[in-house]
Chain A
Amino acid sequence: MAPTTGPGRTPTQLDQGADTKGGVGESPLRPDGTLKVTGEFAYSSDMWHEDMLWGCTLRSPHAHAEIVSVDISEALEQPGVHAVLTYDDLPTEMKNYGLEIKDTPVLAHGRVRHHGEPVALVAADHPETARRAAAKIKVDYRELPVVHDEESALAKDAPLLHPDRDDDHARHVPHPNVVHRQPIVRGDAGAAARRADVIVTGEYEVGMQDQAFLGPESGLAVPAEDGGVDLYIATQWLHSDLRQIAPVLGLPEEKVRMTLSGVGGAFGGREDLSMQIHACLLALVTGKPVKIVYNRFESFFGHVHRHPAKLWYEHGATRDGKITHMKCRIVLDGGAYASASPAVVGNAASLSVGPYVVDDVEIEALALYTNNPPCGAMRGFGAVQACFAYEAQMDKLAAELGMDPVELRRRNAMSQGTLLPTGQAVDSPAPVAELLRRVKAMPLPLEAQWETVGGEPDVRALPGGLSNTTHGEGVVRGVGYAVGIKNVGFSEGFDDYSTARVRLEVVGGEPVAMVHTAMAEVGQGGITVHAQIARTELGVAQVTIHPADTQVGSAGSTSASRQTYVTGGAVQHVCRLVREQVLERGRERFGTYHPAWASAELLLEGGKVVTDGGEVLASLVDVLGDEPVEAEDEWRHRPTEAFDLKTGQGFGHVQYSFAAHRAVVEVDTELGLVKVVELACAQDVGKAMNPQAVEGQIQGGTVQGLGLAVMEEIVVDARAKVRNPSFTDYLIPTILDTPTIPVDVLELADEHAPYGLRGAGEAPTLSSTPAVLAAVRAATGRALPRVPVRPEHIVEV
């Protein structure tokens, strides 16, 4: 029996009223701002329905084990329990899901491949009842040996994670425990190395970082009269979820109606499914609405993480600081399931040389299947790991040459027209040298800011902070620089489109535009920008943002720094279709009254149709009358193509984003504690669509990079078990750990992109980490080849 009422709280249209201004290039307030500061914004974990049940997941305590038996009888007998589901209850032949490769079981069958893999589900009338019932499910495991690094994964007798894999990469990988491998060869690195006056090599390591979005995985599934289900959910891409959910439920896609609920951050961690299918299954089986909300412990197991990586690099240079060649090998740990690993490999390989001119390269990047936690998308996506290593190499090379590290970078900086290792020319501005010049030119923060007038030092400004570990003794300042390159949009031939629906009508005597897309607003402010685009293109003040749902076509993913470019591009395109219809209607109705209707270039401005000379021809209210104008269309950026599997050559990326950082740190060299004093950033964004939001992206990305530099790591032991799944043990930067972040925004238009904009969200996450490490190296003289850097690395206890 489906419930007869709707949820008690649902996402609403966002409307800012008639006095709201702000087109492209301005910084109007967020349409959801008031709801968010009053506590009324409906996040996915706030969904509520009368008579709803709570779902709970039982997860594997082992990283690799055979499931000998599962006994749910005692759990089912608990008062208040409505359903207990295992693999045997899955309704169709489709038991798996996955972004590209459907290798992830909805519920484990016969074998668990990583710590925390879902095994069973419970629905009960109270979350604690559900948790206690789940604890009464008896699962008999037989532990299996784990593979947890390259050596164990590629050993001759290594257990295979997916022995029957038949995905597209299976044919070309050197070992079944390699998800995907991408070599890139260009020029002749061996010959070029002989021209080098100096050669530096290095082995680097990046730990497993977590997205640590604050809003936990959560949602509400409501069974519907027609046998379908309504799902209120926080995700990065509704339609990608839908294509994975519907086949498992055995429902046509139109019977799985999804509405985006408030998303508490994402950063890549919501690209993969978490509780979506589980909540729908429980709702369909019980006939009741089911809410699932992960707690923080479960959240650490409920989403993929950033790939940890090992990277080997060799660079050569002539005495005058020109790089002769680069060789590298990047091994990413993809964990137990594929997730986004193939695309992460493509990024790591194609961007492994960084924003530099290097004609002779030998590159290999690959991702492993192991029993470690699955890894996939996180802000920076393959480019973060490479940037940490190539920027450390630049500093090493500069030291070897006795050259200033910024000068070395400047001499090798790419610019418009430079060929990437893939042979693809960078065909829009690439102001790498200019960004470095700008961060270097910023005034340095004052020395010893902890000193107060005649008093005790302010320990809050010292390494160790309120732990009161130093009053300045042993504290050494260091300054470091880094710059990075990130691709924007989905690459390698993916059909990366977006859909928008725009309606213009008269409401209460005013023209109002309604923008409806399926774009996931995850905090970035895409909805603010959509309203700005509609105001600019349609000349209206009032814009209403329709909730994102699957009643409109796909908007693609809120990832890869792509949404302002692609869904923004779709909104711009469709607004222009609406404008053409409005003008056409104006010509029909009023064309005979004024010759300019036929001859002049016409614009929509200030609620009126005007000529390019500024003459008003009619008001939008008069042209529209009581008949709305509506249009919907898809919009695509330029197509890309796959990288050649052997040479890595190909037009793989559509756009690039560049940022540079200067880090100033103070290190307590006796205790190994780091205080980041300032982290300045310069970034080219093409066009700052909303300058305030752009700064927010740059500062937020910068601090995630700081976290990776000095504190953030999911610790996985040799048995592939996660040791620190909590905010007590996995630390992210607090406001006390965070420095001032001066931002210098450059706007060099990319002629291929809407308004000339450049995707901005990820680039600042890249260069932040290596800049901090460079500064810590400068302060300590240590090599520090691994992030996050820990006190014991600095003081070598």
Chain B
Amino acid sequence: MRVTFTVNGRRHEADDVWEGESLLYVLRERMGLPGSKNACEQGECGSCTVRLDGEPVCACLVAAGQVEGREVVTVEGLAEYARERDGSEGRGSTGDLAPVQQAFIDAGAVQCGFCTPGLLVAADELIERNPQPTDADIREALSGNLCRCTGYEKIMDAVRLAAARADDSAPEVV
């Protein structure tokens, strides 16, 4: 079958898609967007988290056909998505990265990096919805994203940092 949907603001089309293919497979193998990761392919690890019409979902659990005509944001489009949402004046953004991406690098939240794309999409959505999350809020929001390297402490630091940098009322956090 043919599927057509919008990814990161651009229309993508894929032909000869087998009905059983997931959104994750079509993104990674047919659209040249391997940023969303394939750690479990059963909705347990969150490494394939993308936004589907704004909702964070595991792309491995969504059949490609279900996405027909809809809008997807992946980690590859996260910086642009954040820029459009926050405006170019958005605090905490550095060059070509979304604030949460820069915070993950700065805080040392990236080791092997395989969980990172999914965590970034989830953390960005958290801060969008809840700009000043408590630690318990962060843990709850990210509890569907497994990380095996960091022990999560630096991920907590990164999300706190991204939230603090985005808070206009707070003093500048470096």
Say yes or no for A201: interface residue by CB 8 A criterion.
no
- Is the pair B114, A43 in contact by a Cβ cutoff of 8 Å? yes
Say yes or no for A213: interface residue by CB 8 A criterion.
yes
Query: Which residues of B sit under 8 angstroms from A735, Cβ to Cβ?
Result: 138-139, 142-143, 145, 147, 152, 155-156
- Is the pair B110, A700 in contact by a Cβ cutoff of 8 Å? no
- Contact A267 to B153, CB < 8 A, known contacts A37-B120, A522-B112, A736-B143: no
Q: Given B108, B113, B146, B155, which contacts A692 in the complex, CB threshold below 8 Å?
A: B108
Q: Mark B89-101, 1 if CB is under 8 A from A, else 0.
A: 0000000110001
Q: Given B101, B108, B113, which contacts A32 in the complex, CB threshold below 8 Å?
A: B113
- Is the pair B116, A296 in contact by a Cβ cutoff of 8 Å? no
Most buried by B among A40, A48, A728, A734: A734
- Contact A728 to B42, CB < 8 A, known contacts A29-B105, A214-B148, A735-B143: yes
- Is the pair A732, B146 in contact by a Cβ cutoff of 8 Å? yes
CB-CB nearest in chain B for A263: B112
Which stretch (A83-91, A165-173, A272-280, A458-466) binds chain B? A458-466
- Is the pair B110, A33 in contact by a Cβ cutoff of 8 Å? yes
Say yes or no for B23: interface residue by CB 8 A criterion.
no
How far, in whole Å, are A544 and B104 apart by their CA atoms in the complex?
A: 22
Most buried by A among B33, B105, B113: B113
Query: Which residues of A sit under 8 angstroms from B115, Cβ to Cβ?
Result: 214
Say yes or no for A740: interface residue by CB 8 A criterion.
yes
- Contact A525 to B42, CB < 8 A, known contacts A46-B34, A48-B29: no
Say yes or no for B45: interface residue by CB 8 A criterion.
yes
Q: Given A39, A458, A700, which contacts B117 in the complex, CB threshold below 8 Å?
A: A39
Say yes or no for B59: interface residue by CB 8 A criterion.
no
Min CB distance A786 to B, Å, is: 23
What is A's interface to B at a CB cutoff of 8 Å? 8-9, 27, 29-30, 32-34, 36-41, 43, 45-46, 48, 126, 128, 211-216, 262-267, 293, 295-296, 458, 460-461, 466, 522-525, 692-693, 695-696, 698-704, 726-728, 732-736, 738, 740-741
- Contact A39 to B112, CB < 8 A, known contacts A9-B34, A699-B151, A735-B139: no
11 contacts between A and B (CB under 8 A): A213-B114, A215-B39, A264-B112, A458-B136, A695-B108, A695-B153, A696-B108, A700-B148, A735-B142, A740-B153, A741-B153
- Is the pair A37, B116 in contact by a Cβ cutoff of 8 Å? yes
Query: Which residues of A sit under 8 angstroms from B114, Cβ to Cβ?
Result: 43, 213-215, 264-265
Q: Mark B101-133, 1 if CB is under 8 A from A, else 0.
A: 110111010111111110010000000000000
Q: Given B79, B147, B151, which contacts A741 in the complex, CB threshold below 8 Å?
A: B151
B60-100 contacts to A (CB < 8 Å):
74-76, 78-79, 96-97
Say yes or no for B51: interface residue by CB 8 A criterion.
no
Query: Which residues of B sit under 8 angstroms from A37, Cβ to Cβ?
Result: 75, 97, 101-102, 104-105, 110, 113, 116-117, 120
How far, in whole Å, are A522 and B144 apart by their CA atoms in the complex?
A: 23
Say yes or no for B140: interface residue by CB 8 A criterion.
yes
- Contact A727 to B40, CB < 8 A, known contacts A37-B116, A39-B76, A466-B140: yes
- Is the pair B44, A43 in contact by a Cβ cutoff of 8 Å? no
Say yes or no for B165: interface residue by CB 8 A criterion.
no
How far, in whole Å, are A265 and B148 apart by their CA atoms in the complex?
A: 8
- Is the pair A38, B34 in contact by a Cβ cutoff of 8 Å? no
How far, in whole Å, are A48 and B29 apart by their CA atoms in the complex?
A: 8
Query: Which residues of A sit under 8 angstroms from B140, Cβ to Cβ?
Result: 460, 466, 736
Min CB distance B12 to A, Å, is: 15
- Is the pair A46, B28 in contact by a Cβ cutoff of 8 Å? yes
- Is the pair A216, B38 in contact by a Cβ cutoff of 8 Å? yes
CB-CB nearest in chain B for A27: B108
Query: Which residues of B sit under 8 angstroms from A211, Cβ to Cβ?
Result: 148
Q: Given B28, B101, B146, which contacts A38 in the complex, CB threshold below 8 Å?
A: B101
Query: Which residues of B sit under 8 angstroms from A524, Cβ to Cβ?
Result: 111
How far, in whole Å, are A741 and B105 apart by their CA atoms in the complex?
A: 20
- Is the pair B41, A295 in contact by a Cβ cutoff of 8 Å? yes
How far, in whole Å, are A295 and B48 apart by their CA atoms in the complex?
A: 13
How far, in whole Å, are A702 and B136 apart by their CA atoms in the complex?
A: 20
Query: Which residues of B sit under 8 angstroms from A48, Cβ to Cβ?
Result: 29, 32, 34
CB-CB nearest in chain B for A737: B143
B150-165 contacts to A (CB < 8 Å):
150-156
Q: Given A265, A295, A699, which contacts B112 in the complex, CB threshold below 8 Å?
A: A265
Query: Which residues of B sit under 8 angstroms from A38, Cβ to Cβ?
Result: 35, 75-76, 78-79, 96-97, 101
- Is the pair A214, B153 in contact by a Cβ cutoff of 8 Å? no
- Contact A39 to B36, CB < 8 A, known contacts A460-B139, A732-B148, A738-B152: yes
Min CB distance B34 to A, Å, is: 4
Query: Which residues of A sit under 8 angstroms from B106, Cβ to Cβ?
Result: 29
CB-CB nearest in chain B for A295: B41
Q: Given B36, B37, B142, B155, which contacts A214 in the complex, CB threshold below 8 Å?
A: B37
Min CB distance A297 to B, Å, is: 8
10 further A-B pairs in the complex, CB-CB below 8 A; given A215-B112, A728-B44: A37-B104, A37-B110, A38-B35, A48-B29, A214-B112, A296-B39, A458-B136, A466-B140, A699-B153, A735-B138
